[in-house]
Amino acid sequence: MKRSKTPTFLVELPLQVNAQQAKHLRAHFEAARCLYNALLGEAMQRLKLMRADPRWQEARRLPRTQKQERAATFSQLREEYGFSEYAMHAFATQARTSWIADHVDSNTAQKLATRAFQAVLRVCFGQARQVRFKSRGRGLDSVEGKTNTSGIRFVLQTPDEGNAGWLVWQHDHLPALIDWNDPVVKHGLSQRIKYVRLVRRRASSSRAQGADCEGFRYCAQLVVEGLPYTKPKHRVGTGTLGLDLGPSTIAIVPQEGEARLLPFCAELKPKQQAKRRLQRKLDRQRRANNPQNYDQRGRVSKGRLAWKDSHGYEKTRRRLASQDRKLAAHRKSLHGRLVHEVVACGTTIMTEQLSYCAWQKQYGKSVGAHAPGMFLEHLRRTVARTGGSLHEVPTTTTKLSQYCHGCGQYKRKPLSQRWHQCTCGIGPVQRDLYAAFLSCSLDLRTLVPSIAQATWESAETRLRAAIEDVQARATAGEVLPQSFGMPRAGARLPRSRASDHQELRFRHDRVEAVAR
């Protein structure tokens, strides 16, 4: 019988690991990596054999209307070839022999088998083209137990025993750093622990705080039952709001209240610039170390090449990696803040379905930097927790960016046209704000916005206020994304104090450039 699922959240605690324990952990992770690769290979092999069976092709040729017959044939084949999670668990028990058994317990091995199976299942369903084997250099960075009673587990003392906690794996007891004054941690630790995950992360160097001699930090992720802590400052609004998410902008228009047009994660810019500088440094170092691998025009030569990495190069690479981690952590925190701002306006959210693949092709740099898909995923989780709903309506049927509610007509606009203005008298209104407004008044049955004249009049003033706010920010010198449709503030301000017009003059027997 399938067990009913309960809500789950994570509590992350840093671990204090001494040199001896770190050595053990590294060995455990290496053994887990080898086992994972073996399981992945086995699952791929089983999939290959199953697909080579003529009955597989026959089953695929069955029409989709014969649902039961199709499903029965596929499940028969899966059972025969041992392509299931439980068959993989059995294989994991078998494969966990000799030296690997000294490092990885059976529960952990089964969890690795589940992980490998799920990776291969994505290939089976056509969601992925291949699986990734973990190389020695990259390694495996997390292992988890199945329950909190055996294998990897977390032991927490009661308050009168001293309130300390340890992650226990085999003979090692790794003390966790617990900040009992943090209400988030305190709430998390008062729940039932389902199981524990041990995570290792690369620090900037081996001398970083809490890092072992190879520059790894360790932490325990407790998977606990219940709902995460909600800080008192995070209100939950009641109302309907429309969102329009762009690769670097977000427009929020509630049915009542203030509308906003915001750049997405604008605070990340200095970090991105620092990252870019490191990338350029890395490239210069790579070229200086391996001049033989480039042709005269500075392109990488073809064929198999041997690359030399200097110590300086490796140092820059580590710095870049740690810059990237900081960037990701900052982005996640900004996403969280924005999610709370949105949820404070309302929890019935309407937005258009996004096509991330298309976006990644067209706006790769911006999507990579701002991760709008991750933001939406975060929003969906938070909204579900607060009891609201997030409606994603398909763009192909609603076509909100082409719609005009005044005349009810759909008209395509080029992407460069950032303002909506129609001959029927609607507008001018900023395109993203208008799309968000339309989606907030969308009728979910007909997928056509239903807007009364009075609603539009009140909304128009709100949208205008949002634009005025943006204008004020642009005048103050903030650099805004081009998609806002505002003349860029950065372009209007002089770049430096020096005048562009210079003239040459003789002074004290030498030529000087003097500003006019």
| Contact region with Zn ion (CB under 5 A), list: 171-179, 196-204, 216-224, 396-404 | 396-404
Q: In the complex, what is the shortest distance from the CB of residue 444 to Zn ion, in angstroms, rounded to a whole number?
A: 23
Cβ proximity to Zn ion: between 226 and 406 the closer is 406
For Zn ion (CB under 5 A), the number of binding residues is 5
Give the H or E element holding residue 75: helix 67-80
Q: In the complex, what is the shortest distance from the CB of residue 224 to Zn ion, in angstroms, rounded to a whole number?
A: 53
Cβ proximity to Zn ion: between 155 and 422 the closer is 422
Q: In the complex, what is the shortest distance from the CB of residue 278 to Zn ion, in angstroms, rounded to a whole number?
A: 50
Q: Whose structure tokens read 């427009």?
A: 251
Cβ proximity to Zn ion: between 109 and 404 the closer is 404
Give the H or E element holding residue 118: helix 106-124
Taken as a whole, the chain contains a residue count of 516
CA dist 249 and 478 (Å) reads 14
> Which residues, 6 or more positions from 85, have their beta carbon under 8 angstroms from its beta carbon?
113, 114, 117, 118
Q: In the complex, what is the shortest distance from the CB of residue 367 to Zn ion, in angstroms, rounded to a whole number?
A: 31
Q: In the complex, what is the shortest distance from the CB of residue 411 to Zn ion, in angstroms, rounded to a whole number?
A: 8
Asked whether the beta carbons of 243 and 342 are under 8 A apart, the reply is: yes
Asked whether the beta carbons of 37 and 248 are under 8 A apart, the reply is: no
| Contact region with Zn ion (CB under 5 A), list: 208-216, 324-332, 399-407, 488-496 | 399-407
Looking at residues 16 to 35 of the shown chain, list those that interact with Zn ion (rule: CB under 5 A).
Answer: none
Q: In the complex, what is the shortest distance from the CB of residue 424 to Zn ion, in angstroms, rounded to a whole number?
A: 3
Query: What are the CA-CA distances from residue 391 to residues 236, 350, 383, 444 (Å)?
Result: 18, 5, 11, 9
- The neighbour count for residue 196, using CB atoms within 10 Å, is 26
The Cβ-side half-sphere exposure at 302, using a 13 Å CA radius, reads: 0
| Contact region with Zn ion (CB under 5 A), list: 17-25, 46-54, 398-406, 496-504 | 398-406
Angle at 209 between CA 203 and CA 210, to 5 degrees: 80
Q: In the complex, what is the shortest distance from the CB of residue 383 to Zn ion, in angstroms, rounded to a whole number?
A: 32
Q: In the complex, what is the shortest distance from the CB of residue 427 to Zn ion, in angstroms, rounded to a whole number?
A: 8
CA dist 407 and 424 (Å) reads 6
Cβ proximity to Zn ion: between 82 and 406 the closer is 406
Looking at residues 402 to 461 of the shown chain, list those that interact with Zn ion (rule: CB under 5 A).
Answer: 404, 406-407, 422, 424
CA dist 440 and 333 (Å) reads 26
Cβ proximity to Zn ion: between 134 and 418 the closer is 418
Cβ proximity to Zn ion: between 245 and 404 the closer is 404
Cβ proximity to Zn ion: between 160 and 457 the closer is 457
Give the phi and the psi of residue 415 in degrees, each rounded to 5.
Answer: -65, -25
Pinpoint the alpha helices (H) of 96-244: 98-103, 106-124, 183-189
Cβ proximity to Zn ion: between 282 and 426 the closer is 426
Site string for Zn ion, 175-204 (x = CB under 5 A): ------------------------------
**Positions in the binding site for Zn ion (CB under 5 A):** 404, 406-407, 422, 424
